Structure 1
Amino acid sequence: MSSSVFTRPFIPGAAPSVTATAPASHLDLSFLRQIVYEQTQNVLDPSRDYLFETRLSKLLRSQGITGLADLVASLQMRRNPSMERAIAEAMTINETSFFRDIRPFELLRKELLPPLIEARRHARSLRIWSAACSTGQEAYSLAMLLLEHFPSVSTRNIVIEGTDISSEVVQRASFGTYHRIEMNRGLPARNIVRFFTHEGEDWTVKPEIRRLCNFREANLCASTLPFSEPFDIIFLRNVMLYFSQETRRRLLSNVHRLLAPQGALFLGSSEQPADPAIWTANLSGGTCYYRPRRLA
């Protein structure tokens, strides 16, 4: 399908004319927002439409598509599931850093993990889930916390699962390699020395950290989550900001079923459970976490 273009009229003596793609219309942008919603349940406000231009530029270049209007026209002519998934992934926010918002990690170290580890000493493994893990810094931060402050815990009994909807960031998390700029965001120098090797400006987690973490693709808004065994700790932080209330309720209902009776759920500082009837809020150490209430 040929692209829709507009050109400047020729004016003698003027610079050569420039060919440009037609700008995306409001209907084009609405169509793209709907794709993102169908794939991720993220409700994008029209005020954020400007992000499509920048975040999809790499995808457009790789596909030889000249602009958003042509992308929409192509998808309207023939739906392309892999392309729609790529659009949704590109629009997903992947902001993260090591030990992001240190308070939940300090609360784990001081209050929650000691009794939990003692209770699990003769039972099953300690299981932690980093949902929407992005490039893996949260999962690796949890692994470093355990190895640094609870060295008596057998690493064979530690399972840290990291999931994200984006295949690209899951692959990066699996590699565990980070640029110097990423390393300087929240990671103490002692952890860098102990848990990473480096080459040039890239740093890679050592095997003792890497083997504790498993990463996989998962859509949190799917009807079922990819786990059957319960978790002791679940980090679900800054994930639901753009979810509808119904999507939040359904997700947290599934999370409730996956959290052990004495487990702890951490949400983002501006997030709350959609159904407070099934959660007990606990405030400690300047942060809030949630315990699952037993259902009758």
Structure 2
Amino acid sequence: MSQAFALIRRFAQETAGLSLDEDKRYLVEDRLAPVLRRERVATLDALAEAITREPCSDLARATAEALTINETSFFRDKAFFEGFAQSILPALLAARAERRRLRFWCAGCSSGQEPYSIAMLLDEQARRLAGWQVEILATDLSHAMIDTARRGIYSQFEVQRGVPIALLLRYFRREGDFWHIADHLRAKVTFRPQNLVTGFRDLGAFDVVFCRNVLIYFDVATKRRVLANLAGSLAADGCLALGAAESVGGLSDTLAPVPGQRFLFRKAGASATADKLAVL
């Protein structure tokens, strides 16, 4: 293993929780090549030395962002979103009927398809949610991805990956070769940069936290730390939604599966809303 790769590997783990094995070396070099050109850094060795010396610099941030995976799509994992619309949301509406407030957080939102998918489902319930305060927070490590998400402009290929035609016509407008999220829907989502590895105690408590297909890129120690922090961000009866290939088994004593719900986890010992989800 070259010294440059070893330094970059350590930087990626400490900064973004990314696990980069030796077989990812060529992928790392490929992803960092544009950074070298854009920032006018001569070699990978020079880059590794610079980000090690100044891990909070703009160059270090650009390096971390280049190494992250930004795979996403609208309504990814159809079964999950069907469950959200048919079980999770009705249970939340019943549990929050007096307070009439809902808070959702999409952690690791990439270019915005997941939070906009959630916003569409919530907008479909506009009559039931009349008079409610609904907040959707979406965060990502990458400032570039956050900027893309805020714009809400997607290619034909991107909208074809998951958006039903009825929702496409209702919530997007076409301009040339691109589709723009409707302004009223875009206004429902608040985007901000956030590093899951460094903690997030200032965000408050959420009814549902979506951290789907994010943990798969972390090493075990980082998964444990992030799950502990995510559990701390849940309301007492709130739920954490993970991806189809993710679980809390062996990683968290604070979270437990919601019975009958494949993708959902709750605080161990929680009841109320979390229990209702198992029977709806």
| 1:53-64 matches, cutoff 5 A | 53-64=29-40
Q: What SS does the corresponding residue of 2:90 show, helix, strand or coil?
A: helix
Q: What's the TM-score once normalised by structure 2's chain length?
A: 0.88
Q: TM-score, normalised by structure 1?
A: 0.84
In structure 2, distance between residues paired with 1:201 and 1:288: 35
Q: Is the alpha carbon distance of 1:111 and 1:30 closer, same or farther for their aligned partners in structure 2, counting shifts above 3 Å?
A: same
- Describe the SS at the equivalent of 2:218: coil
> Are 1:259 and 2:228 counterparts?
no
Question: C-alpha offsets along residues 63-84 of structure 1, whole Å, 9 cap, x if unaligned?
Answer: 22344234335556x5362211
Deviations 1:199-241 (A, max 9, x none): 101111112211210000011111444402x111111111112
Alignment-derived partner of residue 269 in structure 1: 244
In structure 1, distance between residues paired with 2:166 and 2:31:
35
Deviation for aligned residue 1:290: 0.8
Q: Which runs of 4+ in 1 moved over 3 A?
A: 72-76, 223-226
* Cα 1:254–1:281 shift into 2, 3 Å: same
> Aligned partners of 1:155 and 1:226: how far apart in 2?
26
How far apart, in 2, do the equivalents of 1:156 and 1:85 lie? 38
Given that 1:218 and 1:226 are in contact with CA atoms closer than 8 Å, whether structure 2 keeps it comes out as: no
Aligned residue number for residue 167 of structure 1: 143
The answer to whether the 8 A contact 1:109-1:149 is kept is no
CA distance in 2, matches of 1:55, 1:151: 46
SS across alignment from 2:257: strand
Q: Which residue of 1 aligns with 2:274?
A: none
1:250 aligns with 2:225: yes
> 1:256-283, CA deviations, whole angstroms, 9 ceiling, x for partnerless residues?
1211222221112222225443222135
- Offset of 1:122 from its aligned partner? 2.5
* Cα RMSD, aligned residues only: 2.1
- Aligned pair 1:151/2:115, yes or no? no
The structure, 1 or 2, with the larger RCO (C-alpha pairs under 8 Å, 6+ apart) is: 2
Where structure 1 has 5 or more consecutive residues not aligned to the other structure, the ranges are 1-24
Q: 1:117, CA displacement in angstroms?
A: 1.0
CA contact (8 A) 2:74 2:113 kept: yes
The 5 Å alignment of 1:7-26 reads 26=2
CA distance in 2, matches of 1:58, 1:160: 33
Aligned pairs (5 A) from 1:42-191: 42-72=18-48, 75=51, 79=54, 81-149=57-125, 151-154=127-130, 157-191=133-167
How many aligned residue pairs are there? 268
- Higher CA-based Rg: 1
5+ residue gaps, structure 2, are: 271-280
Seq. identity, %: 35
